[in-house]
Amino acid sequence: MQASNKIRLSWRALFRDPIRPFGVASLFLLMAFAIAPAKDHFSEWRHYQNAYLRLIHDRSDAGTLQRHFRPGIQQIWLPEAGVVDRCKTCHEGMAEAGLVDVKTQPFGKHPPIPHSLTEFGCVVCHRGQGVATTVAEAHDSTLAPEEPLLPARYMEASCGQCHHEALSGTPKLNQGRVMLARYGCVHCHTVKLPDGSTMMPSDEPPPLTHIAEKTSREWIYAWLKNPQSYSATATMPNFLLSDDDARDISAFLIANSAASGAAHAVLVAATATRTADPSAGASLYGESFCASCHATQNAAGDVVGGDLGPELTGIGTKVKPEWLRSWLRNPHEYAPGTSMPQYRWTDQQLDLLTGFLAAKSNSDFTANVHLDPATPEQIAHGRKLVAEYGCAVCHEIRGIRKPDNFAPELSRIGSKPLAQLVFTSGMNQTLPDYLAAKIQHPRDFGPGLRMPQYTFTSPQVDALSTALLSLTDRSFTMPQQWQVASPKRSNYQPAGHAGKLMADLNCQACHRMNGRGGDMAPDLSAEGSSVHRQWLNQFLANPNTLRPALIRRMPRFNLTDTERAELTDYIMTAYQIPGIDPDAVSDSGSSPALVEQGRQIFYSKYACQGCHMVDPKQDKGYVGPPLTTVGSRLTAAWIDAWLKNPQALRPGTIEPNRDMSDDDARALTAFLMAQKGSGKQEAKR
């Protein structure tokens, strides 16, 4: 009572003559009104602009810098891209060439890039909140649609928003994209690209329809438990299966296997091959250039060879010899879609190779596996597991339909709002960290997850994260003029009988033709215009390489004469490009004077010997292919056109465009056409 009375009395004192509190309150009101604009005046960006002015004040180029300085909020506005960037408000010296030595942010000069800062703005590459004028909001905002800044190590991801082809400046991104296809990520995760296409896997998971013919249940069990213990380079990831699950899946796969219908050669030669000279098998393996695609572990423990096909170090443990022989004879019978070419080996060669490969075993891989005969329950459970883990997404399995959209689509994963991510405790709450953690330890994100465990190195994880971060919302809404047309994908298949032959040989596994095929070997789309028929025929019979230092080389397929003739005819007629007129430049009969003039031009005017060699004794050029026999290989018309504009014929080639005059080109062509190689050497080979 006493207290409330006191309050009442003091209120009464206050309100009885309200003029006093009125005067005081008005004064406070005035002060309160003054705070708000003052707060505006002492804003963060003004602080940075003042610091910038102090920084440039004492420099020798102060005059220029001060003239360039614009006070107030600086804005880049790109209405078509929806970009409003005010980064330059604080990053004042971004475009000042003179500030290249300044390392203190935010005032340093932007490193040189192929794009103009004012045309592309900042957030398109760096992300962050462009409209913000405070550091925290600009750099770290996570409210959709804003994103925090992209860490510099993933910066290549930003290039990938517009550039869908491989760029020389973005090795990480390129590697990540290759890995997405190579490691089968895109089997389960759909990745749609802005041009409407879908990213396709480049690995070849084998069909499991006839698995029982190929291998044993024990091997399957051991493989399922840990594919990398069989071969460190194995593509298949580890699904971290329990012993029982692996047992049941192997039981199901064996029980579910059907006969392939491949005409199995009886393994008559098995004993013979064992006794045969093992070096004969090894040299056949070498002559056939199997190592172009397959790797093996050498004595030193290094894995040597290509990675297009599986590593063969333990192949003898894995496959049954009779299956191996039938596979080598015609791989298409077992796996119709395989990239393995159908070599024309003789029965004896098949026996040799089978014996050679069957001897490559790491028998301890299955040594500790002892499986009891499968029960129907185990098989049924295995079937359930196979469906659950989505094995059929990659592998063809009899009776199990390939599931659609098995895993979350990743087409816009690079713009996923943080609010939609579930982080594990203790991790950095950013999208790149989330992606890296998800790639490295997918099962840490909760029970019941099915994504398998890969064994990636940290540069590989970085590369994959970079590739995933390039899949942004923005890449779909880029202004038309920013979109870089990606190379057209085609479904080109060579036609006719020759086409069938080329399919058997899987030419397109290595060579690109008319926009489809691998990039291991040269593009053949213009082959018909560039080479001599005779050379091509010879080459198919005995493919000696142009660059002997390479491990990956064109294999010898043991083609018959008719097959070679057919293939040569087809290539010479089907792979022509317009604009190269074989009659325009005569192949032979150039005057010696012209040849001599060409020699002068070659050695003095353009100094071609810096990269190429014509005379192996004196020239030292190793960058480009040797030209000692170029005259018998290439047509004059092609050489002429090539000299005038190499990039027109093969975009991206490093051969410089020297803007050659017609006369120079003609003389040089004459000189090069004269380089036919000595007939003797040819004969020796």
Partner 1 sequence: MAEDNKSRTAEPEDEISRRAFFTKLGLGSIGLAAAGTMSFAYQYMSPNVLYEPSPVVNAGKVDRYSIDSVTLDPVSAIYLIRVQEGFFALTAICTHLGCMTAWKPELGMIACPCHGSRFNREGQKLAGPAPKPLPWLHTWLSDDGDIMVDRSTVIPAMQFLRI
Partner 2 sequence: MPGRIDRYLDRMTHSRAWLSIFRSGNGPNTLHRSLAIQQSLFLHILPTKVRRRMLGLDATWYLGTLTLGTFLVLVITGVLLMFYYHPSVPQAYADMKDLRFVVSSGLFLRNLHRWSAHAMVFLAFAHMFRVFYRGAYRPPREFNWVIGVVLLLITLLLSYTGYLLPWDQLAFWAITVGSNISSAVPVVGAKFHFLMLGGNQVNANALLRFYVLHCVILPLAAVLFVAVHFWRIRKDGGLYVKQSEPARADATAAAAVSVAEPVAAADVLTGQP
Partner 3 sequence: MSEPKDFVAGISSDARKAPKRVVFVTRRTSAQVRSVDEEQVQTYPEGLLRAALAVELLVIALVLISVFFDAPLEGIANPTVTPNPAKAPWYFLGLQEMLHYFPPVVAGVLIPTLLVIALVVIPYFNINIEGGGLFLKNRRRNLNIFYAAAAGLSLFLWFFDVYVALIPTLIVTAFMLLAAFSSPHSPLRFRRYLAARPVSWWIMTWFLFELIVLTVVGTFFRGPGWSWVLPWRG
Residues in touch with partner 1 (CB under 8 A)? 9, 12-13, 16-17, 19-20, 22-27, 29-30, 33-34, 36-37, 40, 72-73, 75, 77, 79, 86
Mask for 86-105, x = binds partner 2 (CB under 8 A): x-------------------
Q: Which two tokens stand for residue 503?
A: 């399919």
Q: Which is nearer to partner 1, 73 or 276 (CB)?
A: 73
C-alpha distances (whole Å) from 685 to each of 290, 380, 544, 673 are 21, 60, 9, 21
Give me the least distance between CB of 74 and partner 1, in Å please: 8
Q: How far apart are CA 188 and CA 204, in angstroms?
A: 14
Q: Which is nearer to partner 3, 431 or 567 (CB)?
A: 431
Backbone angles phi, psi at 346, to 5 degrees: -80, 165
Give me the least distance between CB of 116 and partner 2, in Å please: 24
Q: Which is nearer to partner 1, 86 or 532 (CB)?
A: 86
| Run of H or E residues at 64 | helix 62-68
| Run of H or E residues at 513 | strand 512-513
CA angle in degrees (0–180, nearest 5) for 603-609-610: 120
Q: How far apart are CA 86 and CA 126, in angstroms?
A: 13
Token pair 């998971």 in the structure block, residue: 205
Q: How far apart are CA 202 and CA 185, in angstroms?
A: 10
Find which of partner 1, partner 2, partner 3, none residue 243 binds, CB within 5 to 8 Å per kind.
none
Q: Which is nearer to partner 1, 34 or 143 (CB)?
A: 34
Q: Which is nearer to partner 3, 3 or 35 (CB)?
A: 35
Give the one residue of 9, 11, 277, 663 binding partner 2; rule: CB under 8 A: 11
In this structure, are residues 357 and 303 in contact, taking their beta carbons and an 8 Å threshold? no
Mask for 59-88, x = binds partner 2 (CB under 8 A): --------------x-x--------x-x--
Find which of partner 1, partner 3, partner 2, none residue 77 binds, CB within 5 to 8 Å per kind.
partner 1
Q: Tell me which residues touch partner 3 (CB under 8 A).
A: 15, 18-19, 21-22, 25-26, 28-29, 32-33, 35-36, 39, 143-146, 417, 419-420
Q: Which is nearer to partner 3, 19 or 152 (CB)?
A: 19
Interface stretch with partner 2, choices 4-12, 50-58, 151-159, 515-523 (CB under 8 A): 4-12
With CA atoms as reference, report the closest residue to 238 among 250, 230, 227, 248.
Answer: 227
Q: Is 132 in the site for partner 2 (CB under 8 A)?
A: yes
Q: Is 123 in the site for partner 2 (CB under 8 A)?
A: no
Find which of partner 3, partner 1, partner 2, none residue 132 binds, CB within 5 to 8 Å per kind.
partner 2
Sequence-distant (6+) residues with CB within 8 A of 530 are 580, 634, 635, 638
Instruction: Give me the sign of the Cα torsion angle 510, 515, 516, 519.
Output: positive
First-residue to last-residue Cα distance in the chain:
120
Give me the least distance between CB of 584 and partner 1, in Å please: 30
**What is the maximum alpha-carbon separation in the chain?**
127
Q: Which is nearer to partner 1, 476 or 482 (CB)?
A: 482
DSSP strands (E only) in 75-153:
76-78, 83-85
In this structure, are residues 366 and 216 in contact, taking their beta carbons and an 8 Å threshold? yes
Q: Which is nearer to partner 2, 136 or 258 (CB)?
A: 136
DSSP strands (E only) in 257-333:
295-297, 303-305
Q: Which is nearer to partner 3, 10 or 661 (CB)?
A: 10
Backbone angles phi, psi at 161, to 5 degrees: -70, -35
Q: How far apart are CA 257 and CA 259, in angstroms?
A: 7
Q: How far apart are CA 685 and CA 680, in angstroms?
A: 9
Q: Which is nearer to partner 3, 14 or 200 (CB)?
A: 14
Q: Is 247 in the site for partner 2 (CB under 8 A)?
A: no
Give me the least distance between CB of 30 and partner 2, in Å please: 16
Q: How many residues bind partner 2 (CB under 8 A)?
A: 18
Find which of partner 1, partner 2, partner 3, none residue 417 binds, CB within 5 to 8 Å per kind.
partner 3
Q: Is 39 in the site for partner 2 (CB under 8 A)?
A: yes
Q: Which is nearer to partner 3, 31 or 549 (CB)?
A: 31
Give me the least distance between CB of 8 and partner 2, in Å please: 8
With CA atoms as reference, report the closest residue to 664 among 633, 640, 631, 628.
Answer: 640
Q: Is 5 in the site for partner 2 (CB under 8 A)?
A: no
Sequence-distant (6+) residues with CB within 8 A of 679 are none
Give me the least distance between CB of 36 and partner 1, in Å please: 7
Backbone angles phi, psi at 681, to 5 degrees: -55, -45
Q: Is 49 in the site for partner 2 (CB under 8 A)?
A: no
Interface stretch with partner 2, choices 8-16, 171-179, 375-383, 393-401 (CB under 8 A): 8-16
Q: Which is nearer to partner 3, 26 or 455 (CB)?
A: 26
With CA atoms as reference, report the closest residue to 601 among 673, 678, 674, 672.
Answer: 672
Give the one residue of 1, 3, 15, 685 binding partner 2; rule: CB under 8 A: 15
Q: How far apart are CA 360 and CA 356, in angstroms?
A: 7
Find which of partner 1, partner 2, partner 3, none residue 420 binds, CB within 5 to 8 Å per kind.
partner 3
Q: Which is nearer to partner 1, 2 or 275 (CB)?
A: 2
Burial of 110 (0-12, 13-18, 19+ CB in 10 A): middle
Give me the least distance between CB of 417 and partner 3, in Å please: 7
With CA atoms as reference, report the closest residue to 339 among 593, 44, 611, 555.
Answer: 555
Give me the least distance between CB of 175 and partner 3, in Å please: 33
Q: Which is nearer to partner 2, 83 or 464 (CB)?
A: 83
Give me the least distance between CB of 286 and partner 1, in Å please: 55
**DSSP collapsed to 3 states, 330-386:** CHHHHCCCCCCCCCCCCHHHHHHHHHHHHCCCCCHHHHCCCCCCCCHHHHHHHHHHH
With CA atoms as reference, report the closest residue to 587 among 629, 533, 635.
Answer: 635
Give me the least distance between CB of 29 and partner 1, in Å please: 6
Give me the least distance between CB of 136 and partner 3, in Å please: 12
| Run of H or E residues at 517 | strand 516-517
Q: Which is nearer to partner 3, 322 or 473 (CB)?
A: 473
Find which of partner 3, partner 1, partner 2, none residue 137 binds, CB within 5 to 8 Å per kind.
partner 2
Find which of partner 3, partner 1, partner 2, none residue 9 binds, CB within 5 to 8 Å per kind.
partner 1
Write out the residues near partner 2 by the rule CB under 8 A.
8, 11-12, 15, 36-37, 39-40, 73, 75, 84, 86, 131-134, 137, 144
